[in-house]
C-alpha cells in the first residue's frame, strides 16, 4: 500500500482541527445553539420525509397504491414519529434522570437550562415550524384547526422557553406527551393498510390508551401540581412566560382530555366488535 505523505496527513489534520473549532466556537457556541438547532430540526424533517418515502417505496406493499395526498400524510407521519422518539427520550432524561432540575441544586429551577436542553428545544421548534407549514399548505388534508392551534401554541411556548432560558423543566414535561405520537401514527398506518381488524391494531389501541392516560392526562396533572409547589419561583418569571406556563398547558390538557374521550370510545368499540 502506498504511504500517504506526511505533509498531506498534517494538512488533513489541520482541516479537521479547523472544522472542529468552527463547530465548537460557532455552530454549537451557546449564543448560536438556538439558531443552529432550529435549522437542524428543519433539515432533519426533510431527511425523515425523504427516507420514509424511499423506505416505503421498497418495503411497503400499501404505499405504491396510495393517492398522492395519502403518500404525503404517510411521509409526514414519518417525520412526526422521528421527532417524537427523539424529543420524548430527551425529555424523560432531562426531567427524571438528569440533575439539571434537581431541587437539591442551588438557584431557581425555572431559570435553569443547559446547551443540551436548549438544543433539544430548538430541534422541536424546527419540527413544529416544518409540520405547521405542511398543515397550512395542504389544509385541511393533514389536519383541521385543532392541529393548527396545537402546533402554534406548542411552537410559541417552546421557542420562548428556548430563547429566554425560562421554564425548560415545564416545557420538557409537556413534551414528554410526544411519547404517544408513534402509537397514533402506527394506528393510522395499520388502518391505511387495511389491518383495522388485526390483533396488532387492537394491541396498539390499548397501548395508546395507557400511554395517553399517563403522558397526556396524569403527567399534566403532576406538572400543574409541581408548578403549585414552586409557585414562588414561577411568579418571578417574565409575564409572558408566566402566562405561557399556565395558559398553554391548560389548553393542551383540555384538548388531550377531549381526544382521550374519543380514544376510550374507540377502544370500547373495537373490543365490542371482537366479542
> How many H-runs (helices) and E-runs (strands) does the chain carry?
11, 0
Residue 207 C-alpha cell reads as: 397501548
Query: CB atoms < 10 A from the CB of 140, how many?
Result: 11
Looking at every residue in the chain, the average pLDDT score rounds to 90
Q: What is the pLDDT of residues 188-218, one digit of tens each?
A: 999 999 998 899 998 999 999 999 999 999 9
Q: What is the pLDDT of residues 43-60, one digit of tens each?
A: 999 999 999 999 999 999
**pLDDT of the residue at 197:** 86
**pLDDT of the residue at 23:** 45
Q: For the chain, give the number of residues.
A: 275
Amino acid at each position: 500500500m502506498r504511504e500517504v505523505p506526511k505533509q498531506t496527513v498534517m494538512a488533513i489534520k489541520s482541516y479537521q482541527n479547523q472544522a472542529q473549532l468552527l463547530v465548537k466556537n460557532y455552530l454549537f457556541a451557546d449564543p448560536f445553539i438556538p439558531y443552529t438547532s432550529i435549522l437542524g430540526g428543519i433539515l432533519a424533517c426533510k431527511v425523515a420525509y425523504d427516507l420514509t418515502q424511499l423506505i416505503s417505496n421498497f418495503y411497503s406493499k400499501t404505499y405504491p397504491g396510495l393517492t398522492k395526498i395519502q403518500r404525503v400524510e404517510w411521509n409526514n407521519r414519518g417525520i412526526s414519529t422521528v421527532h417524537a422518539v427523539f424529543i420524548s427520550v430527551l425529555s424523560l432524561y432531562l426531567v427524571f434522570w438528569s440533575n439539571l432540575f434537581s431541587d437539591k441544586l442551588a438557584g431557581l429551577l425555572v431559570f435553569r437550562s443547559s446547551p443540551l436542553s436548549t438544543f433539544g428545544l430548538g430541534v422541536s421548534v424546527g419540527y413544529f415550524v416544518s409540520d405547521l407549514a405542511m398543515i397550512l399548505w395542504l389544509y385541511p388534508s393533514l389536519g383541521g384547526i385543532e392541529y393548527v392551534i396545537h402546533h402554534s401554541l406548542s411552537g410559541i411556548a417552546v421557542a420562548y422557553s428556548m430563547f429566554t432560558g425560562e421554564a425548560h423543566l415545564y416545557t420538557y414535561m409537556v413534551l414528554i406527551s410526544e411519547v404517544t405520537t408513534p402509537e397514533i401514527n402506527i394506528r393510522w398506518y395499520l388502518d391505511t393498510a387495511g389491518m383495522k381488524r388485526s390483533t396488532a391494531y387492537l394491541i396498539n389501541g390499548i397501548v395508546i390508551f395507557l400511554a395517553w392516560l399517563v403522558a397526556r392526562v396524569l403527567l399534566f396533572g403532576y406538572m400543574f401540581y409541581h408548578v403549585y409547589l414552586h409557585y414562588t419561583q414561577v411568579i418571578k418569571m417574565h409575564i409572558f412566560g408566566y402566562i405561557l406556563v399556565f395558559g398553554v398547558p391548560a389548553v393542551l390538557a383540555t384538548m388531550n382530555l377531549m381526544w382521550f374521550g374519543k380514544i376510550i370510545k374507540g377502544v370500547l368499540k373495537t373490543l365490542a366488535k371482537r366479542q
